[in-house]
Amino acid sequence: MTFSERFSTMWAPVLFSLAAVGCSGAPAPGPSAGQPIRLALNWLPEPEFGGFYEGVLGGHYERAGFAVEIIPGGPGAPTLELLASGQAEVAISAGDDLLVKRSRGVQALGVWAAFQNTPMGLMVHAESPVLRIEDVPAGAEIAIEVGGPFQTFLWARQGWEGKVKALPAAGSVGPFLADPARIQQAYITSEPCVARGKGAEVRFLGAGEVGWNPYGTLVAVADPAPAWTDDFVAATQAAWEAYMADPARANAEIARKNPELSAEILSCVTEAQRPFLVGEDGLGALRPERFDAMASTLSSLGLLPPGATGAAAMRPRGAAQP
Amino acid sequence: MSGTPARSMALPAAVAVGVLVAWAGLASRLPEVLLPGPISVAHAVVDRWELLGRSALSTAGSAGLGLLIGSAVGLGLGVGFLWSRALELAVYPYALLLQTLPVVAVAPLLVVWLGYGAPVAVASAALVSFFPMLTAAHVGLLGVDPEQVELFRLYGASRLQELRWLRAPSALPAVFAGLRTAAGLSVIGAIVGEFVGSNGEPPSLGYLVLRSARSADTALTFAAVIAAACLAGVVYWAARTAEARLIGPWHPGQGGGRA
């Protein structure tokens, strides 16, 4: 047997089967007829996106003439980049992220937001003396996304530089559960419910209370806004209202897509996120002043050029088509 | 292989038992969210067998395809360097740079270019397995007895004949050493790619590690890590078996050289 014969008889079956496995991802179910919308989530399927799933399952999008395909995201999901490169028509983002990416040339507009108050904050154990973020004492350690905008903001505004130590967040509540003095960055839609599920009593300190309050689960479309934007926003509003009235159907779909979420965590998150969804302005609203305020905060942190404004990053509901 | 078959089974088994005992001892002193014991990990393996299996298959596919692509490019470039000194001078520094490219940093780019999931994992596995194969090919193809090369040239052998009958066979030991390194790395590379560029469709080991850590399901994290280790073992074993079949009978590096 020559070398090449030996090589092909030994390796070809292995390589072919590996190649076959690599290419065998199951195709997503195709959307029905209508304006096709690929909606890119910025995290895995979770209740923070419940209304979008309800929009598909409850027919809200279909009745408004949309065939929506939801594309789950993951860590660092580049949703606005997917939008900019034409691989998504709708990107889920956050107020701060949208402003920063726009300053880098991504042409996107915020048109609707599920979270009126940011779901981000800090989590402490219930017996901790820290009742507000301002109470965090000198010498404390916080597990947080080091170098992220929230960390930069906290250390600058609270005067924590050199006093409070930022530890890289390991993406797990394990170290938090093991240490009663531990403070950790958290999303109301995730860590507090996971910690409670493991038997811990925790307190969530929302970032909005210390002035870091970008819109969350922000719906962004291309700038200038496509003609279908208002219809899509109206359908999204109806879908989210339906989800908040009865989350069962969408949550069942989320549990199917993300089997790591237990029924217990799902229902905990669905309740915990409720007050963050409906702020002073009601579900879905966007206010230009808040984008301006966020832009000036980001400017003061050096994350946007000096004097940046934010109102142009959003489109008021029902604005005339450009 | 050196030693008797019984010995080559008994020694790793003894280490495994020792590690399990030490692990169980340590786990009994720590909360489960930090270190689950071997029994709860075994439970996770049994209970989540289907998910683990599907994830491991998906990761194996990405690692295998990445290894294939990385090896093909590495070997091809190795031959290119052999035939063209100019190509070597022009490209080798950049090949070195590519080796240090942190996949984590470029993951969002890879997602935009290639899409979520397996494509990012394949690219990441190819990136890490490319360099060991290039180095191995480079060293192996050049490391030929100059007198043999002279003999080939004296008989007017073409460059292709010289490669086929002289350089390739004598490069095989080095190439297989590179393949063993690249094989293990390709699994790590695929998992890193999945960790940063997966959205859970289809599930994969990197996704499982991320997901289970976030929901504090540490037993499942460990089960996924063990599945990854088994996968690396299988890939390594496949490379080793191919090596033994192809060059074992005549190459001293197969263990026959041990005194």
Per-residue pLDDT of chain A (322 residues; tens, 9 = 90+): 443 444 333 343 444 344 443 343 344 444 456 899 999 999 999 999 999 999 999 999 999 999 999 999 988 799 999 999 999 999 999 999 999 999 999 999 999 999 999 999 999 999 999 999 999 999 999 999 888 899 999 999 999 999 999 998 877 888 898 889 999 999 999 999 999 988 899 999 999 999 999 999 999 999 999 999 999 999 999 999 999 999 999 999 999 998 888 899 999 999 999 999 987 888 999 999 999 999 999 999 999 999 999 999 999 876 654 4
Region of poorest pLDDT, from A83-87, B4-8, B37-41, B58-62 = B4-8
What is the domain count for chain A? 2
* Residue in chain A lying closest to B105 (CA): A76
Q: Are B94 and B107 in contact (CB under 8 A)?
A: no
Please indicate, yes or no, whether residues A265 and A180 belong to a single structural domain of this protein: no
Q: Look up the ipTM and state it.
A: 0.76
Please indicate, yes or no, whether residues A250 and A297 belong to a single structural domain of this protein: yes
Round to whole Å and give the CA distance between B224 and B203: 11
- Tokens (6 digits) for A283: 């579900």
pLDDT number for residue A19: 40
Task: Work out the number of other CB atoms within 10 angstroms of the CB of residue A219.
Answer: 23
* Closest residue to A81, CB basis, from B61, B108, B116: B108
B105 reaches A (C-beta below 8 A):
no
pLDDT number for residue A246: 96
Tell whether A154 is covered by a domain. yes
Residue type, position A100, single letter: V
- Contacts for B167 with CB less than 8 Å, ≥ 6 apart: B82, B140, B141, B144
- The domain that holds B159 is classified in CATH as 1.10.3720.10
Among A217, A189, A192, which residue's Cα sits nearest to residue A284?
A217
Please indicate, yes or no, whether residues A88 and A237 belong to a single structural domain of this protein: yes
Tell whether A49 is covered by a domain. yes
The last residue of one of the domains, among A154, A186, A210, is A210
Alpha carbon of B130: minimum distance to chain A alpha carbons (Å): 16
Round to whole Å and give the CA distance between B184 and B235: 7
Please indicate, yes or no, whether residues A221 and A307 belong to a single structural domain of this protein: yes
Rounded CA Rg of chain A: 22
Tell whether A27 is covered by a domain. no
Q: Which residue has the tokens 């270190």?
A: B35
**Contacts B198 to A, Cβ<8 Å:** 74
Tell whether B52 is covered by a domain. yes
Contact A15 B68 (CB under 8 A): yes
Among A86, A43, A87, which residue's Cα sits nearest to residue A257?
A43
* Closest residue to A177, CB basis, from B210, B216, B246: B216
- Test the B interface: residue of A15, A44, A185, A196 with most B CBs within 10 Å: A44
Among B186, B224, B221, which residue's Cα sits nearest to residue B55?
B224
Contact A22 B195 (CB under 8 A): no
Tell whether A56 is covered by a domain. yes
Round to whole Å and give the CA distance between A192 and B216: 11
For every residue of chain A, which 3-state class applies, written as one string?
Answer: CCHHHHHHHHHHHHHHHHHHHHCCCCCCCCCCCCEEEEEECCCCCCHHHHHHHHHHHCCHHHHCCEEEEEECCCCCCCHHHHHHCCCCCEEEECHHHHHHHHHCCCCEEEEEEEECCCCEEEEEECCCCCCCHHHCCCCCEEEECCCCHHHHHHHHHCCCCCCCEEEECCCCCHHHHHCCCCEEEEECCCHHHHHHHCCCCEEEEEHHHHCCCCCEEEEEEECCCCCCHHHHHHHHHHHHHHHHHCCHHHHHHHHHHCCCCCHHHHHHHHHHHHHHHCCCCCCECCCHHHHHHHHHHHHHCCCCCCCCCCHHHECCCCCCCC
Tell whether B23 is covered by a domain. no
- In the stretch 16-45 of chain B, residues with CB closer than 8 A to chain A read 30-31, 33-34
pTM: 0.83
* Closest residue to B199, CB basis, from A18, A72, A87: A72
Q: State which residues form the domain around A162.
A: 120-210
Please indicate, yes or no, whether residues A99 and A125 belong to a single structural domain of this protein: no
pLDDT number for residue A148: 86
- Contacts for B103 with CB less than 8 Å, ≥ 6 apart: B110, B123, B124, B127, B128, B189, B192, B193, B196
**Edge-to-edge strand ranges of the sheet holding A202-206:** A165-168, A141-144, A183-187, A120-125, A202-206
* Residue in chain B lying closest to A262 (CA): B215
Tell whether A22 is covered by a domain. no
Please indicate, yes or no, whether residues A232 and A272 belong to a single structural domain of this protein: yes
* Closest residue to A76, CB basis, from B58, B196, B201: B196
What is the domain count for chain B? 1
Round to whole Å and give the CA distance between A56 and A296: 37
Among A64, A22, A45, A82, which residue's Cα sits nearest to residue A255?
A45
Contact B199 A73 (CB under 8 A): yes
Tell whether B211 is covered by a domain. yes
Does residue B251 carry a pLDDT above 70? no
Q: State which residues form the domain around B131.
A: 37-249
Q: What is the pLDDT of residues B159-216, one digit of tens each?
A: 999 999 999 999 999 999 999 999 999 999 999 999 888 888 889 999 998 888 888 8
- Test the A interface: residue of B199, B209, B210 with most A CBs within 10 Å: B199
Q: Are B206 and B103 in contact (CB under 8 A)?
A: no
A and B: number of Cβ contacts within 8 A: 133
- The domain that holds A300 is classified in CATH as 3.40.190.10
**SS3 assignment, position B39:** helix
pLDDT number for residue A22: 39
pLDDT number for residue A185: 94
The last residue of one of the domains, among A179, A210, A241, is A210
Contact A44 B107 (CB under 8 A): no
Please indicate, yes or no, whether residues A218 and A306 belong to a single structural domain of this protein: yes
* Residue in chain A lying closest to B65 (CA): A19
Contact B64 A19 (CB under 8 A): yes
Q: Are B66 and B130 in contact (CB under 8 A)?
A: no
- Contacts for A222 with CB less than 8 Å, ≥ 6 apart: A83, A84, A89, A107, A108, A109
A211 φ/ψ sector (left φ>0, alpha ψ -120 to 50, else beta)? left
Please indicate, yes or no, whether residues A103 and A228 belong to a single structural domain of this protein: yes
| Partner residues linked to B53 by β-bridges | none
Tell whether B217 is covered by a domain. yes
The last residue of one of the domains, among A195, A210, A225, is A210
Please indicate, yes or no, whether residues A100 and A228 belong to a single structural domain of this protein: yes
- Test the A interface: residue of B75, B122, B191, B214 with most A CBs within 10 Å: B214
Contact A197 B216 (CB under 8 A): yes
Task: Work out the number of other CB atoms within 10 angstroms of the CB of residue A235.
Answer: 22
Please indicate, yes or no, whether residues A111 and A236 belong to a single structural domain of this protein: yes
Contact A171 B214 (CB under 8 A): yes
Tell whether B115 is covered by a domain. yes
